[in-house]
Structure 1
């Protein structure tokens, strides 16, 4: 994949920026994990209890899971001035495994760009639909992007029940 450049632009919250979207490498893992934790802490705090957030964040220590995702999935990172500010991954050609964006870069089109790149890859792999398990926080984003609610999931992590929602988009 060649790099995708999100055109330079400004917003009230940021200076001008140029974000490059590229395939992730193992060297990106620490920044990806840090962004995973920070995004859950900042963006999901109104939808989940503190105990649920702690349980969810605890999954960051599963290095085998992260290594496998980076090496086996179509895994993209969005980079601004050397820092990972967003990431997303497509598993098995039709499952959106991750999509996270730094809170200061949210609502500026970056998540949409990552999602479109992942959807395009799904199409290249001849998928007719794509699914994801979206957090309560992410459901409005996926709804806006034409994903349909399929069902509610109840997942237990470290003894805490966490609800998310299976979402699907047909091509």
Structure 2
């Protein structure tokens, strides 16, 4: 597995990975109504393309297949962080997070956070 930077040609695959993961994995923790509001069936490609070009996520790729993605914002915020619904518990998230942590340290970011928790980086 490799971690690489986002390419424009990844957009549709990332959209599908996002949709499938939420509808197949996260649906266990949220109601169907919440999941449908979070990821409707008709996601807008242009909006996603602009969003991904602005966020420039890191892509986890295994044998040419995109199996995860994660975003690191300049202030240390990790906005989206998803692993393919068919590849849960295979170390993809750990490898992706390790790459994000290394990148953050290189950039001098001392704190990573999501909307749920904070991760302090040992310096």
Please give the range of the TM-score, normalised by the shorter of the 2 chains. 0.7 to 0.9
- Where is the helix percentage greater, Structure 1 or Structure 2? 2
Distance across 1 between alignment mates of 2:3 and 2:33: 33
Distance across 1 between alignment mates of 2:107 and 2:50: 19
1:157 alignment counterpart: none
Per-residue deviation, 1:47: 0.8
5+ long unaligned stretches in structure 1: 1-18, 134-165
Based on CA coordinates, which of the two structures has the bigger radius of gyration?
1
Distance across 2 between alignment mates of 1:68 and 1:122: 23
Name which structure has the greater RCO, CA cutoff 8 Å, separation 6+. Answer: 2
- Where is the strand percentage greater, Structure 1 or Structure 2? 1
Q: How does 1:13-162 map to 2 (within 5 A)?
A: 19-58=1-40, 60-61=43-44, 63-64=46-47, 66-133=48-115
TM-score (norm 2): 0.86
Cα contact 1:76–1:87 (8 A) shared by 2: yes
Runs of 4+ deviating beyond 6 Å: none
Distance across 1 between alignment mates of 2:85 and 2:25: 7
SS of the aligned residue for 1:53 comes to helix
Could you report, residue by residue, the CA deviation over 1:44-75 in whole angstroms, capped at 9, with x for unpaired residues? 111111110100003942733x3344323341
TM-score (norm 1): 0.64
Distance across 2 between alignment mates of 1:52 and 1:62: 21
Cα contact 2:55–2:71 (8 A) shared by 1: yes
Count residues in correspondence: 120
Distance across 2 between alignment mates of 1:125 and 1:96: 14
> For the aligned residues, what is the CA RMSD?
1.8
Per-residue deviation, 1:120: 1.2
5+ long unaligned stretches in structure 2: none
Per-residue deviation, 1:37: 0.2
Distance across 2 between alignment mates of 1:35 and 1:94: 23
SS of the aligned residue for 1:92 comes to coil
Which moved further from structure 2: 48-57 or 97-106? Answer: 97-106
